[in-house]
Amino acid sequence: MPLLTAAVRAIDRFAELCGVAIAWLMVPLVAAVVYEVVARYAFAAPTIWSFDVTYMLYGAMFMLGAAYTLRVGAHIRTDFFWERWSPRTRGVIDTVAYVVFFFPGIALFLWVGWDEAWYAYEIGEMSEQTPWRPLLWPLKACVPLAAALLLVQGLSELTKSLYAALTGRAFA
């Protein structure tokens, strides 16, 4: 058991550290938008890169942040009944749902995302939206990476729900 507890804590710590790194993407995101607005209105010199950089940072941030959001329990639940259920009932529901819904769904997502990202890398796919034409594989790689991070954090969450299901106490 102590080993399992240590593993859960290690995974949680990992998700938090990744979360900090990902949350900082907000800074370049704000900077890219502000730079574009100032360059356009103050200097009449719009940039060629800001549009692509903006959606890439936003897309990477919310996808990669999914695992951290799972760690802090911020993914939205229907709390209509949830509020009234005991820790044991919650543990049972979560355990079953992680095994039946979460792992198969995210694993499929990882598999599809990996194929597409690898293909984009191999053919050197570029964005068609602007003349800047940046490479797309880094953004596309965020899909399998986000799924992988979610699977790792899912192991920790599954262990916690199993603990609650077996002992009737929330994992603390």
The residues of the shown chain that bind other proteins, judged by CB under 8 A, are 19-20, 22-24, 26, 29-30, 32-34, 36-37, 40-41, 46-48, 51, 54-55, 57-63, 65-66, 68-70, 72, 74-83, 85, 90, 93-94, 97, 100-102, 104-106, 108-109, 112-113, 116, 129-132, 139-140, 142-143
d(CA 42, CA 152): 46
In angstroms, what is the minimal distance from the CB of 1 to other proteins?
25
Closest separation in Å from C-beta 94 to other proteins: 6
Nearer to other proteins, 54 or 121 (CB): 54
Q: Shortest gap between Cβ of 46 and other proteins (angstroms)?
A: 6
Cβ neighbourhood burial of 75 (10 Å; 0-12, 13-18, 19+): exposed
Would you say 6 or 135 has its CB closer to other proteins?
A: 135
Q: Which of 78, 160, 66 is nearest to 109 (CA)?
A: 66
Closer of 101 and 169 to other proteins (Cβ): 101
DSSP letters for 34-82: HHHHHHHHHHS---SSHHHHHHHHHHHHHHHTHHHHHHTT-S---HHHH
Nearer to other proteins, 14 or 51 (CB): 51
Closer of 2 and 124 to other proteins (Cβ): 124
Measured CA to CA in angstroms, residue 124 lies from 44, 58, 62, 108, 118 at distances of: 33, 22, 24, 24, 10
In whole angstroms, what is the distance from residue 132 CA to residue 127 CA?
8
Radius of gyration for the alpha carbons in the chain, expressed in angstroms and rounded? 20
Minimal distance, residue 22 CB to other proteins, in Å: 6
Q: How far is the CB of 65 from other proteins (least distance, A)?
A: 4
